[in-house]
Amino acid sequence: MPDQVAIVTGGAGDVGRGVCRALSAAGVAVAALDLDVSKADGAELALECDVTDHHACAQAVDAVASKLGGVSTLVNMAQAMLAGTPLLDLSARDMRTEFESGPNATLRMMQLCYPHLKARGGGAIINFASGAGTYGLPGLGAYAAAKEAIRGLTKVAAMEWGRDNIRVNAICPVATSDHSADWVSQAVAVSPMGRVGDPETDIGAVVVFLAGPGAFINGRTLQVDGGSGAWR
C-alpha cells in the first residue's frame, strides 16, 4: 500500500510489534507510539507517547503527519490491563486507569487523526477490543468494561464518519509472542486450531486487510481468535 501512513499506539508491545511489521511489509510507512519504544520493530518512526496525555498525543500526531506525510490509518492498541480483581473489589481508581488508557485515549487519538484522514479523502481506524469483554472473563471487570466502551466508540464513529470514507472497525485478538507458558497453554486448550495467533502473520494480516481499500467493512468487530470464542 504505497503512500500510506499508519500510526500504531502500543506499537512497541507484544502484538503491536507484529502489527507494525505486517504494515511495513505491505509498504506502509509506520509510526509506533508507546511509553517505551526500545523494543519497537517494523516502524519507520518510533515516538515515546503517553496516550493518556492529550498534549503528548497531539504532538505525536503532528510529528507523524509532518515527517511521514499525513495519516491514512490509525491503529489503537495501547491499553493498561488490570487482571485478577473480582468485581466486588474493583475501585474507582481501577476504573479510571482502564478508561483513561483505553476508551478515553482511543477517542483522543481518533479525534486528533480525523482531520488528517479526511484530508486524504478517507482512511481506516482499527481499534483493539478484547474477548475479556465480548466473552466476559472473570477477574477482568475494569478491562472488559473499557474494551466494550471502545467497541461502542467504534460503532458510533463508523456511523458518523462513514460519509467521509473513514472506515472504523475493531479487532478482538488472541495472539502472543512472549506471554507465559501458562497463558499459552490455557489459550491453546480452548482453540479449535490448537494454537494461539501470531502477532504478525495472523493479527497483523487482518490489520493490513482492514487498512486497505478493498475492505468494504465498517463498524464491525472481528474476532481474530482462531475460533476460541465460536461457542460463546
With contact defined as beta carbons under 8 Å apart, do 154 and 134 qualify? no
Relative orientation angle of helices 103-119 and 54-68, to the nearest 10 degrees: 30
- Around Cβ 99, how many Cβ atoms within 10 Å? 18
Respond yes or no: is residue 135 known to be catalytic: no
- Adjacent-strand bridge partners of 127: 76, 170
- From 18, 143, 166, 208, the catalytic residue: 143
Sheet of strand 166-173: strand arrangement: 45-48, 29-34, 5-9, 73-76, 123-128, 166-173, 221-224
For residue 35, the 8-state DSSP code is S
Tell me the helix, strand and coil percentages in the chain, rounded to 5: 45, 20, 35
Active-site residues, by number, are 143
